[in-house]
């Protein structure tokens, strides 16, 4: 009895030591996680891209641009400028879908300001564009690095859905998807829906039902993770070109959101990249999430099933009766909590640039 107890204690101690060693190892000591950013830059997109470019834990293998916050043309030009600013013209940047799959395009000059970047000025230089169509770049890279690519969509899901429709064989070859979009506690473009999902709900439905591991970083966490004036001041200390640009974007976000009743500026997309870099920023819950594509009031809502069941009803004579419950399978890790202060400190330190 004592012997087996000692063995058990030793096993637990060894397991704990191993676990601690894993936790203690800096993330960048392991090989970088390969990511593709699918983006509509876009103010917060710009910060998300710069965060990734300044983070050794991830290797940005490609950037695909989608229409959303701004037109695909404007987003493409911005993406080529942001990668130039980050000194990373080795990264392929490809233009993708110019409109949603079956909806009119709605862009957001109100929320993204002049140039789609809140008036922040990019240097004049641009990287050379990749000639491929955005979804084709995604397909090529997933086949080049099977089981290694994490997709980080931070705009409407159009490019990702088109890639899945064109080549479904990529689905089991993708390591995971961590997307900015959705909400389970109310929307921002409507009472129900968040912009990226609302913009192309049919595409989002394809992505959510594809069968790959998904983490949804939605308004539930992005609206409580805000930058403030002292963060801008911190960025401007000994600022190089990247930090000056990031500070201008952050300042725009603060003004914009404070005008909407928030105590600081949201930087939504940066959280998806942050979650790819270090998943411990987020607390998640595995739930079944459906995307509303037919809604009268709820177009683009991401509807999470808290209990993992729906009622089972059968017809009895002229009416129906609930006779039990049917299980639904979870498909999405929903971010329900965030270590906001730690993330903002991390973000600002990385945006200080090289």
Q: Does the footprint of Ca ion cover residue 154 (CB under 5 A)?
A: yes
**Which CB, 40 or 136, lies closer to Ca ion?**
40
Q: Is 194 exposed, middle or buried (0-12, 13-18, 19+ CB in 10 A)?
A: buried
By CB under 5 A, the residues from 158 to 177 that bind Ca ion are none
Instruction: Please indicate whether residue 268 is annotated as part of the active site.
Output: yes
Taking the CB of residue 260, how many other CB atoms lie within 10 A of it?
A: 9
Question: Which residue is catalytic, options 147, 268, 307, 319?
Answer: 268
CB of 305 to Ca ion, least distance (A): 26
Q: Which residue number, 49 or 85, has a Cβ lying nearer to Ca ion? A: 49
- Say whether residue 45 binds Ca ion (CB under 5 A): yes
CA–CA dist 89, 56 (Å, integer): 17
Min CB(199)–Ca ion separation in Å: 10
Residue 247 to residue 244: CA distance in whole angstroms? 5
Q: Does residue 155 interact with Ca ion by CB under 5 A? A: yes
Q: What is the DSSP string of 33-102?
A: EEEEEEE---HHHHHHHHHHHT-TTEEEEEEEE-SSSS-HHHHHHHHHHHHHHTT-TTS-EEE--SS-SS
* Gap between the Cα atoms of 86 and 127, Å rounded: 10
In the complex, minimum distance from the CB of residue 311 to Ca ion, in angstroms, rounded to a whole number: 37
Q: Which stretch binds Ca ion (CB under 5 A): 26-34, 153-161, 171-179, 223-231?
A: 153-161
Q: Where are the alpha helices (DSSP H) in 209-240?
A: 219-222, 229-236
Region of 263-271, 273-281, 302-310, 326-334 interacting with Ca ion (CB under 5 A): 263-271
Question: How many other CB atoms are found less than 10 A from the CB of residue 146?
Answer: 13
Question: Taking contact as CB under 5 A, which single stretch among the options 162-170, 199-207, 245-253, 264-272 is the one that binds Ca ion?
Answer: 264-272
Distance separating alpha carbons of residues 24 and 35, to the nearest angstrom: 23
Tell me how far, at minimum, the Cβ of 101 lies from Ca ion, in Å: 18
Question: How far apart, in whole angstroms, are the C-alpha atoms of residue 290 and residue 282?
Answer: 21
Is 42 one of the binding residues for Ca ion (CB under 5 A)?
yes
The three-state DSSP-derived secondary structure of 132-178 is CCHHHHHHHHHHHCCCCEEEEECCCCHHHHHHHHHCHHHHHHEEEEE
Q: Residues 196, 152: contact at Cβ < 8 Å?
A: no
Q: How far apart are CA 43 and CA 23, in angstroms?
A: 33
Q: Least distance to Ca ion from the beta carbon of 158, Å?
A: 12
Applying CB under 5 A, the site for Ca ion has a residue count of 6
Instruction: For Ca ion, give the closer residue by CB, 254 or 270.
Output: 270
3-28 as b/e, with b when 16 or more CB fall inside 10 Å?
eeeeeeeeeeeeeeeeeeeeeeeeee
CB of 353: closest distance to Ca ion in angstroms?
A: 21
Taking the least distance from each CB to Ca ion, the nearer of 220 and 234 is 220
- Given the complex with Ca ion, which of 68 and 86 has the nearer CB atom? 68
Q: How many CB atoms lie within 10 A of CB 303?
A: 15
Using CA atoms, how far apart are residues 196 and 277, in angstroms rounded to an integer? 21
Q: Which is nearer to Ca ion, 154 or 287 (CB)?
A: 154
Q: Is 113 in the site for Ca ion (CB under 5 A)?
A: no
- Which stretch, 38-46, 73-81, 108-116, 318-326, contacts Ca ion (CB under 5 A)? 38-46
The one among 40, 77, 136, 200 contacting Ca ion by CB under 5 A: 40
- Least Cβ distance, residue 42 to Ca ion (angstroms): 4
> Which residues, 269 to 298, sit near Ca ion by CB under 5 A?
269
Q: Quick check: 197 binds Ca ion (CB under 5 A)?
A: no
Sole window of 44-52, 241-249, 318-326, 345-353 interacting with Ca ion (rule: CB under 5 A)? 44-52
- Our CB check for Ca ion shows the closer of 40 and 242 to be 40
Footprint of Ca ion (CB under 5 A)? 40, 42, 45, 154-155, 269
Which residues are known to be catalytic? Answer: 268
């Amino acid at each position: 009895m004592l012997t087996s107890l000692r063995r058990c204690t030793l096993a637990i101690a060894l397991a704990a030591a191993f676990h601690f060693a894993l936790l203690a190892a800096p993330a960048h000591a392991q090989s970088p996680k390969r990511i593709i950013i699918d983006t509509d830059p876009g103010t917060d997109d710009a910060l998300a891209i710069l965060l990734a470019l300044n983070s050794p834990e991830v290797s940005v293998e490609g950037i695909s641009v989608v229409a959303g916050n701004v037109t695909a043309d404007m987003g493409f030009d911005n993406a080529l400028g942001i990668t130039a600013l980050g000194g990373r013209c080795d990264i392929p940047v490809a233009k993708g879908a110019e409109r949603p799959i079956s909806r009119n395009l709605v862009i957001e000059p109100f929320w993204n300001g002049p140039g789609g970047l809140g008036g922040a000025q990019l240097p004049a230089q641009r990287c050379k564009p990749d000639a491929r169509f955005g979804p084709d770049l995604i397909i090529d890279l997933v086949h080049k690095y099977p089981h290694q690519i994490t997709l980080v969509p931070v705009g409407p899901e159009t490019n990702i859905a088109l890639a899945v429709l064109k080549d479904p064989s990529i689905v089991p070859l993708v390591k995971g998807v961590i997307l900015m979009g959705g909400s389970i506690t109310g929307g921002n473009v409507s009472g129900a829906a968040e912009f990226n999902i609302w913009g192309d709900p049919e595409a989002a439905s394809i992505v959510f039902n594809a069968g790959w591991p998904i983490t949804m970083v939605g308004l539930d966490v992005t609206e409580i993770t805000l930058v403030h004036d002292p963060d801008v001041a911190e960025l401007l200390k000994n600022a190089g070109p990247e930090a000056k640009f990031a500070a201008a974007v952050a300042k725009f976000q603060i003004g914009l959101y404070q005008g909407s009743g928030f105590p600081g500026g949201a930087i939504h997309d940066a959280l998806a990249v942050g979650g790819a870099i270090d998943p411990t920023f987020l607390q998640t819950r595995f739930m079944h999430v459906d995307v509303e594509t037919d809604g009268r009031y709820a177009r683009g809502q991401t509807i999470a099933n808290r209990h993992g069941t729906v009622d089972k009803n059968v017809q009895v004579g002229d009416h129906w009766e609930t006779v039990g419950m049917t299980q639904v399978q979870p498909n999405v890790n929903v971010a329900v909590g965030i270590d906001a202060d730690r993330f903002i400190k991390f973000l600002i330190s990385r945006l200080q640039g090289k």
